[in-house]
Amino acid sequence: MDKMLTSTDDGKLTVDSETFRRMFRGHSAVMYIVDLSTFAIIDANQAALDFYGYDYATMLTKRIPDLNITPELEIRAEIERALEEDRSYYVYKHQLANGELRDVEVYANPISIRGKEYSFSVVHDITNKKNAEEALQNSQERFKALSDATFEAIFISGQGICIDQNETAERMFGYSRDEAIGRHGTDWIAPGDRERVKSNILSGYEKPYEVNALRKDGSTFPAEIQARMTSLKGVDVRITALRDISESKRAEEALKENEDKYRTLFEMESDALAVIEINTGKMLEVNKSFLELYGYSREEVLRMRNTDFSAEPNETRKATQTRDTYIPVRYHKKKDGTVFPTEISASLFNYKGRDVHIAAIRDITERQRLEAQIQRSQKMESLGLLAGGVAHDLNNILSGIVSYPELILMDLPSDSNLRKPIETMQEAGNRAAAIVEDLLTIARGVAISKEILNINGLVNDYLKSPEFHKLIQFHPSVTVHTDLDANLLNIKGSHSHIRKVIMNLVSNASEAIQSSGTVSLSTRNIYIDKPLKGYEDVNIDEYAVLSVTDDGAGIPANEIERIFEPFYTKKTMGRSGTGLGLAVVWNVIQDHEGYIDVRSDDNCTTFRLFFPISREEVSEKTSSIPITSYIGHGETILVIDDVTSQREIACNFLKKLGYVTKEVASGEEAIEYVKKHPVDLLLLDMIMEPGISGLETYNQILRISPDQKAVIVSGFSETDSVKEAQRLGAGEFVKKPYTFEKIGLAIQRELRRKNNAPI
């Protein structure tokens, strides 16, 4: 360029400076000079040529509209607006020689050359900046669209103050954007959780956690909140996201409720339940019944496999993998080594992503024992029918054998050689008749007359009998010892049959002693408060019990089940017995509606016979203490016992003794009764199931009536509970089964003590 820029008096530039010329040519910025009247480019520097891609000659043929895709009229209009706004830059989109479009920012300064107006323009390529701004704007728009579309409420806050929120926040909390901006960030949090949120903000905690969120209308809902610091346009802000978890919480609660129900049912099930992984046999879960059955802790079981509980050979220890499984009998072992039979049923299902069996395991020891008892009873009944038939036929045969010798002997001379053989025949016939009598007893089809008896008298009667003395002659090294309860209650039975039971048991015990030893007979009153499991199950009731014990070699375990069968004997037949003795014992007890319990080991055998007691008196027996000394005078006594028969017995006793009786079946009923009806005395059973005990009953009644007196009764011996009740103020303890005299005296002494009279 051969022109220079110089300044005129009016401030315009003229082209007369060599310095400008050098600057214009060598400057790295894109520069050109435009004739404002024609928009023609009259000069351009090298940077402009490089930017637009033209040579110098071609560049001077271009007009501004040739470079700019904006129409010329719009260019002129933009220049006029710029002049009015007193700004010297314009933004255009220019096209390069290769057709590429670039966003440019043109800074134009008016200059005068020889009185003519020109524009000195400097061009900045702002394409990258423009693209970045557009990208940012697009990103912000996308962020806003995404933010508004998300299910989470999003807040942007600075210094704890909300500066923006998304549309979800507006829908979730009820605040418009204008209402939200300027509010403190914790305004969306329920008051009870605000301090925790503030603490997490101060500590920079960024993990999600649960809070109670607060809506504009004051309602709350569970939410999950997560916040994080970031920079927005150079300013530190906090982005907070809240998610409404009401539905998930309800689902969790429903799931927990179902799990709780499952857990409750699982734990309450009386059968042992186990969840077992099929592939490995690993124990995943067990219930309380399982732990009680096997004796392990839960921690121990969960380290074990199902085969660890088996008591069978290894080849049978395998997990069943069918969908539904029933295993009739498998033998398992407890922690203490006890082996027991089980019945198992199992079903396949999925548990926490694993294929498992849930197995129900039932200990069938008791069922097998009861089945054995039933089979034994059925067998004995069948044998009894057989014995009855045999006895009937033998009776017909024996009629002549027993009767004719007696007639012949009446006519024979005393010195006849035939007398001795016939007497021997007569004795044999009598022995045969005794066997037939035993067979008839076994048949249990013969009616037997019963009367009020006392077993003590029958024992003493037998020990004085010729049969006993003959037995002792056969066994001189055997000592017979007795321990008879002087207060033994009476029973209702057959004198001859029970005497024969005593004789058979003593004879059997003596036979069991090989050299020297002792046979012990004892009697006791026993009240069975719970069913007693033994050789036979003994039901709840009052019993007079006869025990016969020997210190012989004992009965082998494999024989004890059969000892009551007719003709089952280990004795030498024809020398020491017929094999009917214990069969007679069994059937006599059945006829008397009693029970037998047999316990035996290598050193001792005990037979215990349970006879139901009778409250009737033996006709010749007189009371040692006159009933007048413990008669009542219309006092009211509340009988508290969970067994109906015991309440009836007690009430009948007390009514005969002159008392007014009331009765209840539980401690809870007694408490409610005493609240409304005062009574003079409680006759209180100590064990009542289900429900509260006698001790707890008395304790609660004392809160209602502090001076309430009571007499305690129980089928067990005096326990700590009895002593505690007496410490609280209860009177005497009377052990069941009780007599008129015992209960009458105990009540009378307690009533007199209540009246501060000496006992």
CA distances from 758 to 330, 352, 750 (A): 66, 73, 10
- pLDDT-derived band at 145 (thresholds 50, 70, 90) equals low
pLDDT score, position 434: 62
- Check if the beta carbon of residue 556 is closer than 8 Å to that of residue 613: no
- pLDDT-derived band at 301 (thresholds 50, 70, 90) equals very high
Instruction: Identify whether 319 is part of a domain.
Output: yes
Residue 591: φ, ψ to 5°: -65, -25
pLDDT score, position 86: 67
- Token reading at 24: 């214009």
- Residues 254 and 215 both lie in one domain: no
Q: How far apart are alpha carbons 121 and 400 in whole angstroms? A: 161
- Around 345, how many Cα atoms within 13 Å sit in the side-chain half-sphere? 4
Taking every pair of C-alpha atoms in the chain, what is the biggest distance, in angstroms?
A: 197
Looking at 245-295, list the stretches that DSSP marks H as alpha helix, in order from N- to C-terminal side: 246-268, 288-294
- pLDDT-derived band at 512 (thresholds 50, 70, 90) equals confident
- Residues 481 and 425 both lie in one domain: no
- Residues 516 and 637 both lie in one domain: no
- pLDDT-derived band at 575 (thresholds 50, 70, 90) equals very low
497 burial level (CB within 10 Å; 0-12, 13-18, 19+): buried
Which residues have a Cβ under 8 Å from the Cβ of 120 and sit 6 or more positions away? 5, 13, 31, 33, 108, 109, 110, 111
- Residues 632 and 574 both lie in one domain: no
- pLDDT-derived band at 251 (thresholds 50, 70, 90) equals confident
Looking at 27-119, list the stretches that DSSP marks H as alpha helix, in order from N- to C-terminal side: 46-52, 56-59, 64-67, 72-84
> Is residue 639 pLDDT above 70, yes or no?
yes
- Check if the beta carbon of residue 477 is closer than 8 Å to that of residue 599: no
Tens digit of each residue's pLDDT (9 = 90 or more) over 96-132: 999 899 988 888 887 777 777 788 888 888 888 777 6
Residue type, 504: N
Tens digit of each residue's pLDDT (9 = 90 or more) over 727-748: 999 999 887 766 778 888 999 9
> Is residue 3 pLDDT above 60, yes or no?
no
> Is residue 317 pLDDT above 90, yes or no?
no
- Around 477, how many Cα atoms within 13 Å sit in the side-chain half-sphere? 9
Tens digit of each residue's pLDDT (9 = 90 or more) over 514-554: 888 999 999 999 988 877 776 667 888 889 999 999 998 88
281 burial level (CB within 10 Å; 0-12, 13-18, 19+): middle
- Residues 156 and 273 both lie in one domain: no
- Residues 67 and 90 both lie in one domain: yes
- Residues 639 and 675 both lie in one domain: yes
Q: How far apart are alpha carbons 329 and 422 in whole angstroms? A: 62
CA distances from 379 to 168, 447, 720 (A): 84, 21, 45
Q: What is the CATH number of the domain that holds 734?
A: 3.40.50.2300
Instruction: Give the Cα-Cα-Cα angle 733, 699, 638 (nearest 5 degrees).
Output: 60
- Residues 224 and 93 both lie in one domain: no
Q: What is the CATH number of the domain that holds 170?
A: 3.30.450.20
Residue 579: φ, ψ to 5°: 85, 10
Instruction: Identify whether 112 is part of a domain.
Output: yes
Instruction: Identify whether 313 is part of a domain.
Output: yes
pLDDT score, position 387: 58
- Residues 186 and 257 both lie in one domain: no
Which of 537, 562, 566, 595 has its CA nearest to residue 443? 566
- pLDDT-derived band at 490 (thresholds 50, 70, 90) equals very high
Instruction: Identify whether 621 is part of a domain.
Output: no
Instruction: Identify whether 132 is part of a domain.
Output: no
pLDDT score, position 544: 93
Strands (E), 251-353: 272-277, 283-286, 324-333, 339-351
Instruction: Identify whether 759 is part of a domain.
Output: no
- pLDDT-derived band at 601 (thresholds 50, 70, 90) equals confident
Residue type, 378: Q
Q: How far apart are alpha carbons 547 and 534 in whole angstroms? A: 14
User: Average pLDDT, stretch 404-428?
Assistant: 78
> Is residue 716 pLDDT above 90, yes or no?
no
- pLDDT-derived band at 358 (thresholds 50, 70, 90) equals confident
Instruction: Identify whether 136 is part of a domain.
Output: no
Q: How far apart are alpha carbons 616 and 491 in whole angstroms? A: 8
pLDDT score, position 294: 93
Give the end of a domain, one of 339, 363, 387. 363
- Check if the beta carbon of residue 218 is closer than 8 Å to that of residue 190: no
pLDDT score, position 194: 92
- Check if the beta carbon of residue 43 is closer than 8 Å to that of residue 1: yes
> Is residue 327 pLDDT above 70, yes or no?
no
Percent of residues, the chain, with pLDDT higher than 90: 27
- pLDDT-derived band at 319 (thresholds 50, 70, 90) equals very low
- Residues 93 and 214 both lie in one domain: no
Q: What is the CATH number of the domain that holds 563?
A: 3.30.565.10
Give the end of a domain, one of 244, 260, 291. 244
- pLDDT-derived band at 449 (thresholds 50, 70, 90) equals low
- Residues 461 and 588 both lie in one domain: yes
Residue 99, SS3 per DSSP: coil
Beta bridge partners of 128: none
Q: How far apart are alpha carbons 392 and 440 in whole angstroms? A: 8
> Is residue 607 pLDDT above 60, yes or no?
yes
Q: How far apart are alpha carbons 153 and 134 in whole angstroms? A: 27
CA distances from 436 to 308, 471, 503 (A): 57, 21, 17
Looking at 549-678, list the stretches that DSSP marks H as alpha helix, in order from N- to C-terminal side: 581-591, 644-656, 667-676
CB atoms within 10 A of CB 550: 26
Instruction: Identify whether 620 is part of a domain.
Output: no
pLDDT score, position 569: 61
**Between 276 and 365, the higher pLDDT residue:** 276
CA distances from 39 to 32, 35, 105 (A): 11, 5, 17
Give the end of a domain, one of 244, 272, 300. 244
- Residues 234 and 279 both lie in one domain: no
Displacement of CA 187 from its chain's centroid (Å):
44
Which residues have a Cβ under 8 Å from the Cβ of 282 and sit 6 or more positions away? 276, 305
- Token reading at 116: 């003519």
Total domain count, the chain: 6
Query: What is the residue range of 120's domain?
Result: 5-125
> Is residue 159 pLDDT above 60, yes or no?
yes
User: What value does the mean pLDDT of the chain take?
Assistant: 81
- pLDDT-derived band at 757 (thresholds 50, 70, 90) equals very low
- Poorest-pLDDT segment among 34-43, 276-285, 444-453: 444-453
> Is residue 635 pLDDT above 70, yes or no?
yes
Model confidence, pTM: 0.46
